Amino acid sequence: MEIHISRSAVENNLKLIKKIVGENVRISSVVKANAYGHGIETYVPVAKEAGIDHFSVFSYNEAIQVYKITKKTADIMIMGWIGTSQLKDVVRKGIEFYVFNLERLNDALSEAKTLKKPAKIHIEVETGMNRTGLSKKDFKLALRIILDNIKHFEIKGLCSHLAGPESIANHVRVKNQINTFGTFKAELEKNGLAPEYCHLACSAAAVCYPGSRHNLVRIGIMQYGFWSSREVFLRYLHNKSGFDNPLKRVITWKSEVMSVKTVKTGKFISYGTTYLASEDIRTAVVPVGYSFGYSRSLSNRGRVLINGVRCSVIGLVNMNMITIDVTRAGDVKPGDEVILIGEQNDMAISVDSFSEITQQINYEILSRLSRDIPRIVVE
């Protein structure tokens, strides 16, 4: 079983994103959750070669992975979790990080003092997501602390996160967030502080809300070749002729047939009684199961490609195996290629189609792809 990462697709997607946001907006490549399942160690070098020099991660551990790969040739930003004992190393290595409460700010200050090295901070403010970020009141207190200790800080950014710009249903809330962010920015400037970057936009906002771009956008899902939602794609198409999708899927997930057999009419297949053969059928077992991220909810519903034919998953998805009905797929033998996500001849299985079946969204399916599957870069 292998996951292929297409270099040309990455180049294509980054070029498109650049065209959308403009030359003066820096792109931070979001590689949390093992680069959305693409494999942080595989994906980061490919993005780097395609011109990316800023990476965003969720946690310290992910930051260290990127740090080892990029060897100080890219900026790294931790948007979320850093254990108290890990903060010293973050400051020492010059890794940038979010400050979303006064505790984190004070911890950063004390590490910066001990190390005699300024902490590179991004001030995260609460604009309406109500997850993390400094309230107006705490922001004022934070400004005092920062101004009184200015030599211990490098103010890399002012930032916030939008609560669902991929859906028009959230339009008013998102608009209000963008405005609120503006008032924080003005307040910061009034105090004589000029952050290097102001950033608010994820993929969906970068496309749908130009006013949220400022001078840096944090791009996750789009660089991997997926629109955040169908609405975002439609918004992109507005004022364009045609319906061509300019994004290219980066990932292909493939396996091979492990064993083939005939099952007689009236027999149940795999555990239990969820699938009854209503005719004599040919089945192929593929060594992929829920332990690799092939969701159990695809039992009796998933589709794969074999011999260029779309074939059904029958019975339950097991821990390491699925059974496929290959009755109409011609001569299928052990070793034949099986496409779980990707293309074969003119047929395609998209991550979107999984989502429609299982209600899981792209993000979740991708990020659950097992780390044990080898990732290979292809052109």
Tell me, residue by residue from 112 to 151, as one string, x for binding to ligand PLP by CB under 6 A and - for no binding. Answer: ----------------------------------------
Q: Which is nearer to ligand PLP, 26 or 303 (CB)?
A: 26
Answer for which of 203, 212, 323, 344 binds ligand PLP (CB under 6 A) is: 203
Those residues whose C-beta lies under 8 Å from the C-beta of residue 352, and which sit 6 or more positions away, are: 226, 362
Whole-Å CA distances, 294 to 49, 221, 301, 351, 358: 31, 19, 12, 11, 11
Tell me the site size for ligand PLP, rule CB under 6 A: 13
CB of 228 to ligand PLP, least distance (A): 5
Question: Does residue 161 belong to the site contacting ligand PLP (CB under 6 A)?
Answer: yes
Q: Which is nearer to ligand PLP, 38 or 282 (CB)?
A: 38
Question: Does residue 247 belong to the site contacting ligand PLP (CB under 6 A)?
Answer: no
CB of 79 to ligand PLP, least distance (A): 5
Those residues whose C-beta lies under 8 Å from the C-beta of residue 74, and which sit 6 or more positions away, are: 48, 52, 53, 54, 55, 66
CB of 80 to ligand PLP, least distance (A): 7
Q: Which is nearer to ligand PLP, 156 or 218 (CB)?
A: 218
Q: Is 33 exposed, middle or buried (0-12, 13-18, 19+ CB in 10 A)?
A: buried
Answer for which of 219, 269, 277, 281 binds ligand PLP (CB under 6 A) is: 219
Whole-Å CA distances, 222 to 2, 23, 120, 128, 275: 22, 17, 27, 24, 38
Q: What angle do CA 69, 253, 371 make, to 5 degrees?
A: 45
Sign for the CA dihedral angle at 203, 340, 57, 17 comes to: negative
Q: Give residue for tokens 């005719």.
A: 279
Question: Does residue 178 belong to the site contacting ligand PLP (CB under 6 A)?
Answer: no
**β partners of residue 313:** 324
Q: Which is nearer to ligand PLP, 153 or 226 (CB)?
A: 226
Residues that bind ligand PLP (CB under 6 A): 30, 32, 79, 161, 202-204, 218-222, 228
